């Protein structure tokens, strides 16, 4: 009996269930995919760490002194926390990439990929993080070269494939190599592997002594503590070196994927909320419409449990089908998607079946559908069959006559629309909640699209201690005086930095002559330092060490220490937010002598054309003394950065999916309204109303709920968008996002959402054309 009842429900509600099915597929697809990515890539990284026996710390040390190098190795080996270390056999050579689209004489740092590159002999690696070679070229190769996927993407913008030739001028001599393949490694991402014989031939001339040391720590040792210990030790010995922890490598390989996943899961939650509201509305409305049929079923012997179960299973089965279909779609597209994601993840992902994401998505989608359906059918329990057969749930409505047509002035269609709008509370709640959800998602899409996709300089300003349009490096003691007098230059300041220690934590001290003369400093609270005993600290550093404004903290360098007063909190992604800002006169206490050759500029109007002119003028003034430049204005305007392109794609997808959710929800709602109001619509047509008037009335009747939901969602979305972005970028050192969240964004979302919704409702209401008074006559 139950099976027949379920089949009957499906036959009767087929078109509604198709709309519901599509919404479920969309929500479960986004949630399942988001969970798969965030779990898959992070677990893939952890598997690689174990499989490759990856180091916990990598030390990059540059020194010509053999005794100093030996002393450092002896120090590392003496640490009880070090289980094992290994010296990577590399040499660093002056290298120029010879390519038609690259100008070897260009001083543009974003264009010229020439510089110093690390080389290692192919086949001569140790036990730590042995490279895994992929995409191997099968043909014969005379001079093979292997590079990391990350290097190919980051440095060469994905220009090379296995089998391609690459011409390198090494120490002034050109060599033609064949890209024999790429490798994946957790830490050795910046090496070129070449034949040992070729490397021996090249090992003459300008060879830079950079040594890479992989360190594996003993079990239970805190990686961050050892990282700070090594950094401080090298700083105290004044050794040019850098240390990277496994946590930084994990951030490099997985952070962009994690951001994408959070967007997908957040939007999936919003759509799931829509799904639950749709279930509640559909079931309660179905009970009201079919109350006499339910009474008849009870009179025929069906129990309340059977009737409720049939309604519940109708939605649970549909939710299960939608979830399984979405899972199938994911595994169909995951392989090509994984190839595309290599440009931001830099490593391949095996993407096997993920039982955790499958189970979590299924429980959330199907489980929540079951619970809402269970709650929605509770009104059937107290329904007496006799009352149901005679009267329905209500035999008479004693509601006040809102907007009486005989005494209210105004256009008749508008008055009828207003009257209809007040008539259905459940319908209004459904539309309001759905449009609220869409308003939030579209608001975030507009916020991210504007601040990252359209105005990427806002993101750059968020991630830097002081935003600049142009960076130039000039071989001069203090080139500021000549640069700031050039046309179109509004502001010019030099910046320097050095490493110091604060309570055992390695920090980056960022210095300029006077921070109060620098525009666009990323200060969150307090004020900039004025005197030589004052500093502003990074908010992340303050949070980690519980530093308050007004506190005195001690900074240490090699042989020096000094107590500074904290005047405020700054923000920067440099050193993941563990920074301090100080003026030049404050560095004397720590024995640091500032270098002033890195000059940052603000150009009039932040114009790419004017920034190009400024760079041209600087080149003409300094000539060969201009070492390099970065034109942020032009680079951001062109939008070629993967982060910018990704932000634009995410925003477009969010808008498209939002419109799809509105369409599917309104499709279900409009059909329900039309079926419920067939007799009323037929009578109105008999009275002379046209289909266009009735469609307009229906569209206008939903506008109050649409406007309310979209307005509240847009306002809440924009007001909380910076909080959402802070969570996304917290790993980069961002403690507080302060990007533009303007009122016009709310207006844009509301206007666009309302107009799009009206057009959709009007389009979906074309079924009214088929209704006539004659077709509703019964004998």
Comparing CA positions, the residue from 347, 415, 359 lying closest to residue 153 is 347
Q: Rounded to whole angstroms, how far apart are CA atoms 58 and 189?
A: 11
pLDDT band at 700 (very low <50, low <70, confident <90, very high): confident
List the structure tokens of 447: 């916020």
pLDDT band at 407 (very low <50, low <70, confident <90, very high): low
Task: Of 96-100, 297-301, 383-387, give the lowest mean pLDDT range.
Answer: 383-387
> Average pLDDT of the chain?
85
- Residue 146's SS3 state is strand
Asked if 669 contacts 20 with a C-beta cutoff of 8 angstroms, the reply is: no
Asked if 87 contacts 212 with a C-beta cutoff of 8 angstroms, the reply is: yes
Longest dimension (CA), the chain: 108
pLDDT at 717 over 90: yes
Instruction: Tell which CATH architecture fits domain 477-596.
Output: Beta Barrel (2.40)
Q: Which of 627-643 are b and which e, b meaning 16 or more Cβ less than 10 Å from the residue's Cβ? A: ebbbbbbbbbbeeebee
pLDDT at 393 over 60: no
pLDDT digits (tens, 9 = 90+) for 749-768: 999 999 999 999 999 888 88
pLDDT band at 395 (very low <50, low <70, confident <90, very high): very low
Asked if 180 contacts 142 with a C-beta cutoff of 8 angstroms, the reply is: no
pLDDT digits (tens, 9 = 90+) for 596-631: 999 999 999 889 999 999 999 999 999 989 989 999
pLDDT at 693 over 70: yes
Q: Rounded to whole angstroms, how far apart are CA atoms 119 and 7?
A: 69
Cα distances from 279 to residues 24, 273, 669, in angstroms, run 11, 10, 11
pLDDT digits (tens, 9 = 90+) for 212-237: 889 999 998 999 889 988 888 888 87
pLDDT digits (tens, 9 = 90+) for 111-139: 777 778 889 899 888 888 888 888 899 98
Q: Rounded to whole angstroms, how far apart are CA atoms 156 and 606?
A: 28
**Dihedral angle of Cα 376, 377, 381, 383, to the nearest 10 degrees:** 90
Residues for the chain: how many in total? 779
How large is the average pLDDT for residues 184-207?
81
How large is the average pLDDT for residues 397-403?
50
Asked if 704 contacts 426 with a C-beta cutoff of 8 angstroms, the reply is: no
Q: What is the pLDDT of residue 722?
A: 93
| Residue that is written with structure tokens 């070449």 in the block | 194
Cα distances from 593 to residues 496, 512, 588, 589, in angstroms, run 10, 12, 7, 10
The domain spans of the chain are 1-56+262-395, 87-215, 416-464+634-779, 477-596
pLDDT at 408 over 60: no
Terminal Cα distance for the chain, rounded: 32
How large is the average pLDDT for residues 463-480?
90
List the structure tokens of 746: 């709310």
Angle at 633 (CA atoms; ends 630, 638), nearest 5 degrees = 100
A 10 A CB-CB count for 363 gives 11
How large is the average pLDDT for residues 683-699?
80
Q: Rounded to whole angstroms, how far apart are CA atoms 114 and 311?
A: 68
319 alpha-carbon distance from chain centroid: 28
Q: What is the pLDDT of residue 81?
A: 93
pLDDT at 778 over 70: no
User: By percentage, how much of the chain surpasses pLDDT 70?
Assistant: 90
A 10 A CB-CB count for 286 gives 21
Q: Rounded to whole angstroms, how far apart are CA atoms 738 and 524?
A: 9
To the nearest 10 degrees (0 to 180), the angle between helices 14-51 and 642-676 is 160
| Residue that is written with structure tokens 């459904």 in the block | 430
A 10 A CB-CB count for 516 gives 12
pLDDT at 68 over 80: no
pLDDT at 209 over 70: no
Q: What is the pLDDT of residue 470?
A: 94
Task: Of 283-292, 476-485, 519-528, give the lowest mean pLDDT range.
Answer: 283-292
pLDDT digits (tens, 9 = 90+) for 316-338: 999 999 999 999 999 999 999 88
The beta strands (E) that lie in 310-439 are given as none
Q: What is the pLDDT of residue 386?
A: 54
pTM: 0.82
pLDDT at 88 over 60: yes
pLDDT digits (tens, 9 = 90+) for 334-374: 999 888 887 777 788 888 889 999 999 999 999 999 998 88
Q: Which of 366-383 are b and which e, b meaning 16 or more Cβ less than 10 Å from the residue's Cβ? A: bebbbebbeebbebbeeb
Q: What is the pLDDT of residue 473?
A: 93
DSSP label at 218? P
pLDDT at 552 over 80: yes
Q: Rounded to whole angstroms, how far apart are CA atoms 116 and 207?
A: 9
pLDDT band at 716 (very low <50, low <70, confident <90, very high): very high
Q: What is the pLDDT of residue 528?
A: 96
| Torsion sign over Cα 697, 699, 702, 703 | negative
Quick one: 560 exposed, middle or buried, by C-beta within 10 A (0-12, 13-18, 19+)? Answer: middle
The beta strands (E) that lie in 467-583 are given as 470-474, 489-494, 496-502, 505-512, 523-526, 534-538, 552-557, 560-570, 579-583
> How, if at all, do strands 496-502 and 505-512 pair?
antiparallel
Cα distances from 9 to residues 319, 371, 383, 536, in angstroms, run 15, 19, 19, 67
Asked if 447 contacts 741 with a C-beta cutoff of 8 angstroms, the reply is: yes
pLDDT at 387 over 80: no
């Amino acid at each position: 009996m139950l099976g027949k009842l379920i089949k009957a429900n499906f036959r009767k509600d087929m078109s509604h269930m198709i709309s519901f099915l599509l919404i479920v597929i969309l929500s479960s697809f986004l949630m399942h995919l988001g969970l798969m990515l965030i779990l898959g890539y992070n677990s893939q990284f952890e598997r690689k760490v174990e499989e490759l026996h990856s180091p916990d710390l990598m030390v990059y040390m540059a020194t010509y002194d053999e005794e100093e190098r030996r002393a450092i190795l002896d120090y590392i080996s003496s640490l009880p926390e070090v289980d094992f270390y290994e010296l990577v056999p590399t040499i660093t050579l002056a290298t120029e990439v010879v390519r038609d689209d690259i100008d070897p004489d260009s001083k543009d740092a974003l264009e010229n990929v020439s510089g110093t590159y690390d080389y290692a002999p192919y086949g001569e690696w140790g036990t730590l993080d042995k490279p895994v070679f992929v995409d191997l070229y099968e043909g014969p190769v005379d001079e093979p070269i292997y590079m990391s996927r990350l290097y190919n993407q980051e440095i060469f913008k994905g220009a090379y494939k296995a089998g391609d030739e690459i011409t390198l001028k090494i120490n002034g001599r050109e060599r033609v190599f064949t890209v024999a393949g790429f490798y994946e490694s957790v830490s050795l991402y910046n090496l070129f592997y070449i034949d040992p014989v070729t490397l021996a031939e090249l090992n003459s001339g300008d060879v830079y002594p950079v040594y890479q040391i992989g360190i594996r720590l003993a079990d239970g040792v805190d990686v961050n503590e050892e990282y700070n210990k090594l950094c401080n030790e090298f700083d105290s010995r004044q050794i040019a070196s850098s240390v990277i922890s496994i946590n930084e490598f994990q951030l490099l390989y997985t952070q962009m994927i994690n951001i994408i996943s959070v967007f997908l899961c957040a939007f999936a939650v919003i759509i799931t909320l829509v799904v639950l509201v749709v279930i509640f509305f559909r079931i309660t409305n179905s009970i009201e419409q079919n109350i006499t049929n339910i009474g008849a079923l009870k009179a025929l012997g069906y129990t309340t449990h059977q009737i409720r179960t049939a309604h519940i299973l109708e939605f649970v089965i549909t939710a299960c089908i939608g979830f399984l279909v979405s899972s199938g779609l994911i595994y169909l597209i995951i392989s090509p998607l994984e190839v595309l994601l290599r440009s931001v993840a830099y490593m391949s992902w095996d993407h096997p079946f993920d039982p955790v994401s499958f189970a979590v998505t299924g429980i959330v989608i199907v489980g929540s559908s079951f619970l809402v359906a269970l709650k929605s059918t509770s009104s059937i329990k107290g329904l007496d069959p006799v009352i149901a057969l005679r009267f329905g749930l209500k035999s008479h409505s004693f509601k006040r006559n809102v907007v009486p047509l005989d005494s209210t002035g105004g256009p008749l269609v508008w008055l009828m629309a207003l009257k209809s709008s007040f008539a259905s509370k459940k319908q209004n709640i459904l539309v309001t909640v759905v449009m609220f959800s869409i308003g939030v998602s579209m608001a975030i899409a507009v916020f991210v699209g504007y601040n990252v996709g359209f105005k990427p300089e806002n993101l750059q300003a968020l991630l830097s201690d002081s935003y600049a349009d142009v960076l130039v490096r000039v071989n001069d003691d203090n080139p500021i005086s000549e640069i700031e007098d050039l046309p179109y230059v509004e502001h010019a300041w030099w910046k320097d930095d050095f490493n110091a220690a604060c309570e055992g934590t390695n920090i980056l001290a960022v210095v300029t002559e006077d921070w109060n003369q620098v525009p666009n400093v990323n200060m969150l609270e307090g004020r900039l330092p004025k005197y030589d005993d004052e500093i502003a600290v990074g908010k992340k550093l303050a949070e980690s060490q519980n530093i308050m404004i007004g506190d005195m903290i001690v900074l240490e360098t090699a042989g020096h220490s000094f107590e500074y007063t904290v005047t405020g909190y700054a923000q920067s992604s440099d050193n993941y937010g563990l920074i301090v800002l100080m003026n030049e006169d404050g560095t004397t206490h720590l024995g640091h002598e500032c270098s002033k050759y890195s000059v940052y500029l603000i150009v009039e109007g932040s114009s790419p054309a004017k920034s190009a002119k400024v760079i041209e003028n600087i080149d003409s003034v300094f000539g060969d003394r201009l070492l390099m430049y970065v034109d942020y204005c032009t680079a951001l305007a062109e939008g070629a950065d993967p982060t910018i392109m990704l932000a634009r794609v995410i925003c477009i997808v969010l808008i498209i999916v939002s419109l799809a959710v509105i369409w599917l929800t309104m499709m279900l709602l409009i059909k329900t309204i039309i079926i419920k109001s067939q007799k009323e619509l037929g009578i109105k047509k008999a009275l002379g109303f046209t289909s266009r008037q009735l469609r307009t009335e229906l569209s206008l009747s939903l506008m109050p709920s649409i406007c309310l939901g979209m307005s509240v969602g847009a306002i809440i979305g924009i007001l909380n968008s910076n909080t959402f972005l802070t969570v996304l970028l917290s790993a980069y050192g961002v403690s507080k996002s302060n990007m533009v969240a303007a009122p016009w964004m709310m207006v844009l979302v509301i206007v666009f959402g309302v107009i799009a919704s009206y057009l959709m409702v009007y389009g979906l209401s074309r079924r009214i054309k088929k209704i006539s008074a004659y077709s509703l006559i019964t004998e």
